[in-house]
């Protein structure tokens, strides 16, 4: 606590940076939008934007506007680690990875992307270069596919249409694969990522539900192909599903999905 009469110091450049980040937390804005809305000098606005973008705290959209970047997610995940889900899931992840060559991950959805919230290494010689706060593709990663399990086709199409790099033909082709993945996880309770995101790497993921039955997160194991042959998909998949179910029940879920 400050004693009476002590001056509260502030750094103008940092205050302006915070203004920009807070504005982008509310909406995607261009450099001109920020300059006008926040009444900041143009030169100051561009310098701050450039610095934030270089550090992945913001990113530029195909439309030329800015939004918060993955660097900010890392801060959020650091805060999130103190919350119940990570604390509850941790012993289950440790049990899942124990005495295996697998790495177990916990992911949470952030802006339609799964973001790693925790990671537990197994006994394997290889260490995967994944980090807490790292985002994964929604429809190509096992943690993402698991999170998308309850999405309607309209929701999936809406998310795909937000990617300006995808043509209508590419979206149609992707939809066929996504439909199959969603159906698989609904029927089996787990989903497979077979070298779709990185050659030589396989993952199996499963959704975590809260007391209302909503999917709030997912877990996965990550493995080299040699350590997870196709013949083990069902056995390991059921183990991942059971672990996700244990975490869900610990979060208050009473259903049977």
Whether residue 5 lies inside any domain: the answer is no
User: pLDDT (tens digit, 9 = 90+) per residue, 85-118?
Assistant: 888 999 999 999 999 999 999 999 888 889 999 9
Q: Are residues 56 and 133 located together in one domain of the fold? A: no
Whether residue 257 lies inside any domain: the answer is no
Q: Are residues 29 and 155 located together in one domain of the fold? A: no
pLDDT surpassing 70 at residue 7: no
Q: Smallest Cα–Cα separation from 133: which of 88, 71, 197, 87?
A: 71
pLDDT surpassing 70 at residue 8: no
| Mean pLDDT of the 247-257 span | 86
What confidence tier does 78 reach under pLDDT thresholds 50, 70, 90? Answer: low
| Mean pLDDT of the 139-165 span | 90
Q: Are residues 174 and 120 located together in one domain of the fold? A: yes
CATH code, domain carrying 145: 3.30.450.40
What confidence tier does 223 reach under pLDDT thresholds 50, 70, 90? Answer: very high
Whether residue 198 lies inside any domain: the answer is yes
pLDDT surpassing 60 at residue 193: yes
Residue 117 sits at φ, ψ, to 5 deg, of -110, -20
The domain boundary, picked from 43, 68, 93, lies at: 68
| Mean pLDDT of the 121-129 span | 82
Q: Are residues 26 and 117 located together in one domain of the fold? A: no
What confidence tier does 237 reach under pLDDT thresholds 50, 70, 90? Answer: very high
Overall number of domains in the chain: 2
Whether residue 1 lies inside any domain: the answer is no
Share of the chain above pLDDT 70, in %: 93
Q: Are residues 99 and 118 located together in one domain of the fold? A: yes
More confident residue, 67 or 80: 67
CATH code, domain carrying 27: 1.10.10.10
Q: Are residues 135 and 31 located together in one domain of the fold? A: no
pLDDT of 132 reads 87
What confidence tier does 83 reach under pLDDT thresholds 50, 70, 90? Answer: low
Whether residue 89 lies inside any domain: the answer is yes
Q: Are residues 153 and 233 located together in one domain of the fold? A: yes
Whether residue 2 lies inside any domain: the answer is no
pLDDT surpassing 90 at residue 202: yes
The domain boundary, picked from 68, 88, 108, lies at: 68
Q: Smallest Cα–Cα separation from 41: which of 16, 15, 67?
A: 16
Distances (CA, A) of 257 to 150, 188, 226, 244: 11, 9, 31, 11
pLDDT surpassing 90 at residue 5: no
pLDDT of 128 reads 82
Q: Are residues 180 and 59 located together in one domain of the fold? A: no
pLDDT of 227 reads 92
What confidence tier does 230 reach under pLDDT thresholds 50, 70, 90? Answer: very high
Whether residue 119 lies inside any domain: the answer is yes
pLDDT surpassing 70 at residue 81: no
Q: Are residues 64 and 167 located together in one domain of the fold? A: no
Whether residue 142 lies inside any domain: the answer is yes
Residues 6 or more apart from 203 whose CB is under 8 A from it? 141, 142, 143, 192, 193, 197, 220, 221, 222, 223
pLDDT of 9 reads 65
pLDDT of 1 reads 35
The domain boundary, picked from 22, 43, 68, lies at: 68
More confident residue, 66 or 82: 66
Two structure tokens written together for 56: 């992945």
Q: Are residues 49 and 107 located together in one domain of the fold? A: no
Domain containing 28 equals 12-68
How far apart CA 18 and CA 27 sit, in angstroms, is 14
Q: Are residues 48 and 115 located together in one domain of the fold? A: no
| Mean pLDDT of the 39-64 span | 90
Mean of pLDDT over the chain? 88
Q: Are residues 17 and 131 located together in one domain of the fold? A: no
């Amino acid at each position: 606590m400050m004693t009476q009469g002590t001056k509260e110091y502030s750094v103008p450049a940092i205050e302006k940076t915070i203004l920009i980040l807070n504005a982008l937390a509310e909406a995607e804005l261009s450099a001109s939008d920020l300059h006008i809305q926040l009444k900041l000098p143009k030169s100051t606005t561009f310098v701050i934007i450039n610095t934030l973008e270089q550090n992945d705290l913001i990113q530029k959209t195909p439309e030329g506007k800015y939004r918060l970047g993955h660097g900010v997610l890392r801060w959020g995940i650091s805060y999130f680690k103190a919350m119940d889900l990570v604390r509850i899931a941790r012993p289950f992840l440790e049990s899942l990875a124990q005495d295996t060559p697998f790495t177990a991950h916990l992911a949470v959805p952030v802006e339609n992307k799964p973001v790693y919230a925790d990671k537990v290494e197994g006994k394997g010689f290889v260490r995967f270069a994944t980090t807490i706060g790292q985002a994964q593709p929604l429809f190509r990663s096992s943690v993402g596919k698991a999170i998308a399990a309850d999405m309607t086709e309209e929701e999936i199409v809406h998310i795909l249409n937000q990617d300006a790099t995808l043509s209508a033909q590419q979206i149609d082709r992707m939809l066929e694969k996504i439909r199959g993945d969603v159906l698989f996880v609904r029927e089996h309770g787990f989903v497979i990522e077979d070298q779709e995101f990185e050659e030589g790497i396989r993952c199996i993921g499963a959704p975590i539900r809260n007391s209302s039955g909503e999917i709030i997160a997912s877990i996965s194991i990550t493995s080299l192909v040699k350590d997870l042959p196709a013949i083990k998909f069902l056995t390991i998949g059921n183990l991942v599903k059971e672990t996700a179910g244990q975490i869900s029940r610990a979060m208050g879920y009473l259903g049977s999905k």
